[in-house]
Amino acid sequence: MAHGITALILKGSFDVAKAEAFDLYGKPLGFDLTLFHIDHYYSACWQHLLNTSGKLDVVLTGSSIFPDEIVLAKIARSVSTEVMVAFAIIQTDYFGGIGSQYANVFIEEQNADHSIQTINQALEYLGVIAKTGMDAFDTVGLSGIRSQPGFLNKYVNMADDYGV
C-alpha cells in the first residue's frame, strides 16, 4: 500500500476560521497536535499570494518537493493562538514499505534542531510519547492517513498560473 502525505503539524491551539481562510483543515492527532495537509504547490502559491519571499532553514532532505517556503511559518503564526509557535513539516513517500520520509521542526521561523530529520523525531520533539509497542508515528495515527486530500489539487493549476 502507498503512503504519501505532506503536512504541517501544529503544536497547540489555533483559530479554526483563520486556518480555513488558508485552506487548512485540521485533523487532531492528540498530544495537542493538529495535522494540516499541505504540499509544495500550496506553499509556493501562498508565498506568491502573500507577497513573501525566503526559505525556511530546512535540513537537506533529498526531496525536491519538500515545502520550504518561509510563508509556512507566517501562516502557522497567523493561525496559532500560542505565544510561541512550534510546528513540523513532514513528508512521506512509501509504496509497499519501501520509500522515504522527511521532517523538520520549527519554532517560529527557526529550525528547532538540525538533527531532527525523521517524523518520529519531530513528533517526539513536539511532545508525543509513544504507546508501548508503537512508535510516535503510529501512536498519533499517521499510519492511517495515507494520502493527500483532493482540495490541494487546485494549487497545481494556481502554481502554473502564477509561474511559481
CA nearest neighbour of 34 among 145, 156, 151, 150: 145
DSSP 3-state assignment of 150?
A: helix
- Residue 136 burial class via C-beta count within 10 angstroms: exposed 0-12, middle 13-18, buried 19 and up: buried
pTM over 0.75: yes
Residue 42 structural domain: 2-159
CA nearest neighbour of 70 among 57, 79, 60, 61: 57
Reply yes or no on whether the pLDDT at 115 is more than 80: yes
Please count the other Cβ atoms lying within 10 Å of the Cβ belonging to residue 128: 22
Name the percent of the chain lying above pLDDT 70: 99
In a domain, 139, yes or no: yes
* Position 92, amino acid: T
In a domain, 14, yes or no: yes
In a domain, 146, yes or no: yes
Reply yes or no on whether the pLDDT at 97 is more than 80: no
In a domain, 34, yes or no: yes
In a domain, 154, yes or no: yes
pLDDT at 57: 96
Q: How many domains does the chain have?
A: 1
**Interval 54-88: pLDDT, tens:** 999 999 767 789 999 999 999 999 999 999 999 99
**Interval 141-162: pLDDT, tens:** 999 999 999 999 999 999 999 9
In a domain, 164, yes or no: no
In a domain, 55, yes or no: yes
Cα–Cα distance between 140 and 133 in angstroms, integer? 13
- Answer for the pair 12, 32: CB distance below 8 angstroms, yes or no: yes
